[in-house]
Amino acid sequence: MLPVWASENNPDYWSFQEYLDAFPLQRNLSEAFSARIRQAAEPWTAPTDKPVRIAMLIPDQQVSDYWYRNRKSFTSRLQEIGLPFTLTSYSSRPATTHRQQERQLAKALNSDPDYLVFTLNTLRHRVLIDKIMTRGRPKIILMNITTPLKHWGTNQPFFYVGFDHREGTRLLTDAINKMIGKQANYLMLYGTRGYVSQARGDEFIRLTANQPGFTLRQAFYTDVNREKTSQAVRQTLATKPGINLIYACTTDIALGAIDALKQLNKEDNIILNGWGGGSAELDALAQGSLDLTVMRMNDDNGVAMAEAIRLDQEGKASQIPQVYSGDFTIVDKDTPTAELERLKAHAFRYSK
């Protein structure tokens, strides 16, 4: 059954491409800004009275190194620019309770930062962001989301930054189609309930809903928990032995599925994807435990945040697009080692 969310045009937000189509000036800004991200840093020359204060709240307590690498590339690019700054980082798990998140956020705001790096995955996140925007400061950078919310109209947060989940899912879907053949009985493994599961999981369901031979046999929310994922896979395969594709929405979920397939000796019988192409997924590809993934040029994300702050501090906010979405590529277990090393050298150029 097609989820209610998974429609081409969502009433809650613009997709990245819809936003660029709706606001053509943003396309030009986005292209110019993307060129800046690919270039070496220009040294900071303006006088600075005091360091820029930054607070960062990220769910980095997981196997996926996306969040860690972006914090590293963010700080490294700021250091390379030479812009004085202080960064206070608050860590959490993907399934951290809202109350814990609110405590972290209150602590971060008490330090009166100039910029707050946060994410938006649930309705509760949106409520918290509403309150901060009403205050007028700090300026909010929303990480891991590239779809501006229509709810905020023209009064948007300072900057959205990430890798377009929808585009990544489209690339994955095309690659899976070529790999799976005509018959796909699949298990969907979501993370937590919210935006990322919708944009990666429900979007895959939407894209394959009208394809003959694609059948969703089971779906689980795993809370991005490796053991819970492994248990879900074992339980599904015990009752639905015809599964030949497992769609994993995150790295930790893919690794939990690998655990189960190894225990059941079914690694060669079922196609399994990753999502993001971090170190753990690339290792699993090399070992033949993972079939394919969509690889983000990871450090572009941190560089984009640094460059947005730099432009803002220079009084050039008019040069910052509302949204920055980094580049993807598909890699699989047959990707040549030399090509993989070239991709890693760029994707992890600050966080290696």
Helix, coil or strand: residue 129: helix
Question: Is 97's pLDDT higher than 80?
Answer: no
Quick one: pLDDT at residue 4?
36
The encoded tokens of residue 81 equal 């620019």
- Same structural domain, 214 and 271: yes
Helix, coil or strand: residue 148: coil
pLDDT tens digits, one per residue of 161-214 = 999 999 999 999 999 999 998 789 999 999 999 889 999 999 999 999 988 899
Distance in Å from the first CA to the final CA of the chain: 42
CA distances from 191 to 6, 123, 220, 254 (A): 16, 16, 8, 11
- Same structural domain, 32 and 156: yes
Model pTM score:
0.90
Rg (CA), the chain: 20
Task: Answer whether residue 236 is part of any domain.
Answer: yes
Q: Residue 143: which of 124, 168, 110, 165 has the closest Cα? A: 165
Task: Answer whether residue 122 is part of any domain.
Answer: yes
> Quick one: average pLDDT of 236-252?
96
Is 2 or 322 the better-scoring residue by pLDDT? 322
- Same structural domain, 224 and 118: no
> Quick one: average pLDDT of 89-101?
75
Task: Answer whether residue 336 is part of any domain.
Answer: no
Please give the share of the chain, as a percent, with pLDDT higher than 70. 95
- Same structural domain, 227 and 237: yes
- Same structural domain, 188 and 131: no
- Same structural domain, 286 and 311: no
pLDDT tens digits, one per residue of 102-141 = 888 889 899 999 999 998 766 677 888 888 998 889 999 9
**Gap between the Cα atoms of 79 and 46, Å rounded:** 15
**CATH no. for residue 229?**
3.40.50.2300
Quick one: pLDDT at residue 206?
95
- What is the enclosing helix (H) or strand (E) of 246? strand 245-248
Question: Is 5's pLDDT higher than 60?
Answer: no
> Quick one: average pLDDT of 251-277?
96
**Gap between the Cα atoms of 276 and 224, Å rounded:** 14
- Same structural domain, 156 and 221: no
Quick one: pLDDT at residue 9?
57
pLDDT tens digits, one per residue of 10-64 = 678 899 999 999 999 999 999 999 999 999 999 999 888 899 999 999 877 777 7
**Gap between the Cα atoms of 293 and 303, Å rounded:** 23
Quick one: pLDDT at residue 3?
37
Is 127 or 280 the better-scoring residue by pLDDT? 280
Task: Answer whether residue 42 is part of any domain.
Answer: yes
- Tally the domains of the chain: 2
Task: Answer whether residue 139 is part of any domain.
Answer: yes
Alpha-helical segments (H) within 151-278: 165-180, 195-197, 203-208, 226-239, 251-264
> Quick one: average pLDDT of 227-232?
97
Quick one: pLDDT at residue 315?
95
CA distances from 214 to 147, 170, 187, 207, 219 (A): 28, 15, 11, 10, 14
Is 117 or 1 the better-scoring residue by pLDDT? 117
- Same structural domain, 247 and 115: no
Q: How many residues does the chain have?
A: 352
> Quick one: average pLDDT of 319-335?
96
- Same structural domain, 238 and 321: no
Task: Answer whether residue 2 is part of any domain.
Answer: no
- At residue 290 the predicted structure's pLDDT band, cuts being 50, 70 and 90, is very high
Domain holding 282, by residue range, is 166-296
Task: Answer whether residue 338 is part of any domain.
Answer: no
- Same structural domain, 159 and 308: yes
- Same structural domain, 276 and 314: no
**Gap between the Cα atoms of 203 and 206, Å rounded:** 5
- Same structural domain, 158 and 170: no
Quick one: pLDDT at residue 282?
95
99: number of Cβ within 10 Å: 9
Task: Answer whether residue 344 is part of any domain.
Answer: no
